Chain A
Amino acid sequence: MSEKTEFFPDDFERIAGEPDAVVDSGFTSDSYWRDVRRRFITNRGAVIALVFIILIVFFAAFGPVMNQYSYKDQNLSQKNFAPRIPLLEKLGIFNGDEALKTTMGVKNINGYRDKNLPDVYYWFGSDTLGRDIWTRVWEGARISLGIAVVSALINMTLGLCFGLISGYFGGLTDSIMQRFAEINNGIPRLVIVTLLLLVFRPGFVTIVLALVITDWISMSRIARAEMLKLKEQEFVLASRTLGANHRTIIFREVLPNIIGQVFTQLMFSIPTAIFMEAFLSFVGLGIPVPQCSLGSLINDAFNSFTTHPYQIIPPILVLALLMLCFNILADGLREAFDPKLKEM
């Protein structure tokens, strides 16, 4: 107080009335969901990942109808054409040129020019059977995404029910269910999937089934842990005292409280499923021809990937991008739902 302080005449009067109602700004906040959304939007990586996913989904839905080709039309006279895109070709890129390394040295070929097809465009090139890669990539993405989403949803339902029931009833029920899960988990999923696909014919349904058998456990684990935590809490006890039946407690009281974690786990299981499907296709247990998935496209193009690398790049790029984006998105969601994780 060394500086001169200016005092006003009323300074030393009591403030009239009650003390101000203190609004605790540290804890007031908007609703939970608005908070989640705000935290998510401020996470730049997750938003970019979401945009990419939306783009890929859009192309998976509409990509195949953007040109006149279909995913199974073969045109053996137009096989192994390098990518050619209108407008861009004038810049000297994507003009159908391809450098072939032969024993005699590097040779430049251009299928469109050599076969005199000035009006033919394969945006991503054509494969060894003369099919349009653009169409097939998006068709493949559609099937891969379909398999992933369907199996992830079934996984979620199954794992959720299993985990919630196991955790809720506890005791012997829990013990039996957990031993079952443990033994199931003791078998390598590679083995389960391989055997399943050997017995049944590979196809959309069997692949989904194989993915479900191997991946529901992590969801059930989360559901059980949360149930064990929540079932002792007051709001659950209260509704139990009020006579609510088991189903109401499990699905009305507990489930809404773990929806964040469930959703995050769902997002994490999608890339796992995409990867597993691609893996199966690559070892020859994938979607049967002429249908294609990202994995089977990579498998097909692998055989000629040193001579025609452009055939393998699009499916690999889409696959890697999908997995990366889903992982980043899921990470972002987890942080949005559970900010404590980030504060540490």
Chain B
Amino acid sequence: MENQTRKKVMEIRNLSITFRTAVGPVHAIRGVDLDMHRGETVAIVGESGSGKSVTMKAAMGIMDKNGQVDSGTIFYTYLSDDKTEKTVDILQMKKKELRRHINGKRIAMIFQDPMTSLDPTMMIGRQIIEGMLWHKRATRKAAWGKAVKLLEEAGIDDAEKRMKNYPHQLSGGMRQRVVIAIALACDPDLLICDEPTTALDVTIQAKILELIQRIQKERNICVIYITHDLGVVAKIADYVNVMYAGRIIEKGTVDEIFFDPRHPYTWGLLSAMPDMDMSNERLFAIPGSPPNLLHDIQGDAFAPRNPFALNIDKRLEPPMFRISKTHFAATWLLDPRAPKVEMPEILKNRIQAMREGEIGHG
């Protein structure tokens, strides 16, 4: 049913990225496939260093200078200025073209730390209108008016006065609202949020999340949400991609991932999620730490930490096994020859409890 209505905005295929560092090349991204559709919220989940931010920075064309794309394509489909639909490979575009036609204008990004992501020497008003003027979306006066409206929309009181403030005069939550206003200034159709609430207080986190969600609904745009917080994912995402060591190891709808996880790493993540309702349970932690991507990885990157590892995991990297039309996971456990492995008891109970809660709420 989706295929008719879902409109693809971005399609990442087989993306591999290497960083040159002082100690040697780091294979940060090792073959990532990702799809984004209009009007949907896609979450990318993983531990720090799993490559979630790098992937999206590559899609924005703002990768660090020592990063290098080894292979892959990032196709982006947009309505060009003359109202025709255009598809481009972002990785093939010149930096200048990218800045001119894509960045800010069509794809915008919200960064993790609002304390450092605003220019300290520029009034916030100017920072908001800068993009609009640059992309010739509005005259100075119109841009100013729109910026005030955006600030109001983002939940800032006294917006007209705030326009003339400098970042240091605002609190962290306010600054993040400003960053959101900057991102929305040119009406992008793809909004990348890189852990936008991690640096904020819990109470403000919820408000910012609501704001992003509301904007997404109102404008019917695609929001990509990078996070390590599964609680946030459950709340806002339509589709979830779980990343580990530079690969996507499980992807599916939010229901599939939360109620029917198949990859042992996803099991671990879900078990490790702190949960108010189950305070008497021991908090679970995945043993060990992610592999060092300086070294080549043989077989399944997760095998050394996987209590259910098979012999083949040491030798061969598992392919994506299809579970449903939308649900895929990369683990040999899904091979028909593999022994049947049940998810840990603790997680089963949890999912059971969640389902009941869902029904109760719904």
A interface residue numbers (CB < 8 A to B): 1, 5, 7-8, 10-15, 18-22, 24-26, 342-343
Contacts and interface: CB of A to CB of B under 8 A. Distances in A.
B287 interface: yes
B339 interface: yes
B319 interface: yes
B134 interface: no
A4 to B, nearest CB: 12
A25 B290 CA distance: 10
Contact of A22 (B22, B287, B311): B287
A15 B337 contact: no
Interface size class of B (residues with CB under 8 A): 20 to 34
Interface in B285-305: 287-289, 292, 294-295, 303-305
A6 to B, nearest CB: 9
A14 B288 contact: no
A20 B313 CA distance: 13
Nearest to B338: A12
Contact of B312 (A1, A11, A19): A11
Give the 4 A-B CB pairs with smallest separation, nearest first: A22-B288, A11-B312, A1-B319, A26-B292
Given A11-B310, A15-B309, A24-B292, 18 more contacts: A7-B337, A10-B311, A11-B312, A11-B332, A12-B310, A12-B312, A12-B332, A14-B309, A14-B310, A15-B314, A18-B307, A19-B288, A19-B309, A20-B304, A24-B289, A25-B294, A343-B21, A343-B22
B306 interface: yes
A25 B292 contact: yes
Nearest to A343: B22
Interface in B92-108: none
A8 B299 CA distance: 14
A15 B292 CA distance: 22
Contacts of B304: 19-20, 22
B210 interface: no
A84 to B, nearest CB: 50
A22 B332 contact: no
Contacts of B316: 5
A19 B311 contact: no
A310 B228 CA distance: 70
A14 B332 contact: no
A12 B305 contact: no
Given A7-B312, A22-B304, A13 B339 contact: yes
A19 B287 contact: yes
Interface of B: 21-22, 287-289, 292, 294-295, 303-316, 319, 332, 335, 337-339
Contacts of A26: 289, 292, 294
16 contacts: A7-B312, A11-B311, A11-B332, A12-B337, A12-B339, A13-B311, A14-B309, A15-B310, A19-B303, A19-B304, A19-B305, A21-B288, A22-B289, A25-B294, A26-B292, A343-B21
A342 B23 CA distance: 12
A42 to B, nearest CB: 10
A286 B342 CA distance: 85
B292 A13 contact: no
Contacts, number: 62
Contacts of A20: 304
Contact of A11 (B22, B287, B305, B337): B337
A20 B288 CA distance: 9
B312 A24 contact: no
A50 B295 CA distance: 35
A342 B22 CA distance: 9
A243 to B, nearest CB: 35
A25 B335 CA distance: 31
A342 B21 CA distance: 11
Nearest to A7: B312
Nearest to B319: A1
B23 to A, nearest CB: 9
Contacts of A24: 288-289, 292
A254 to B, nearest CB: 29
Contacts of A22: 287-289, 304-305
Contacts of B314: 15
**Residue among A7, A8, A11, A21 with the most chain B CB within 10 A?**
A11
Contacts of B22: 342-343
A12 B339 CA distance: 7
Nearest to B318: A1
Given A19-B305, A19-B306, A14 B339 contact: yes
Contacts of A7: 312, 337
Given A22-B305, A342-B22, A13 B288 contact: no
A25 B287 CA distance: 15
Contacts of A343: 21-22
Nearest to A22: B288
A8 B315 CA distance: 10
B308 A14 contact: yes
Nearest to B341: A14
Contacts of A21: 288
A288 to B, nearest CB: 51
Contacts of B310: 11-15
B210 to A, nearest CB: 36
A24 B294 CA distance: 12
A24 B49 CA distance: 14
A18 B305 CA distance: 10
Contacts of B303: 15, 19
A7 B336 CA distance: 13
B285 to A, nearest CB: 13
**Residue among A5, A18, A20, A21 with the most chain B CB within 10 A?**
A20
A8 B21 CA distance: 38
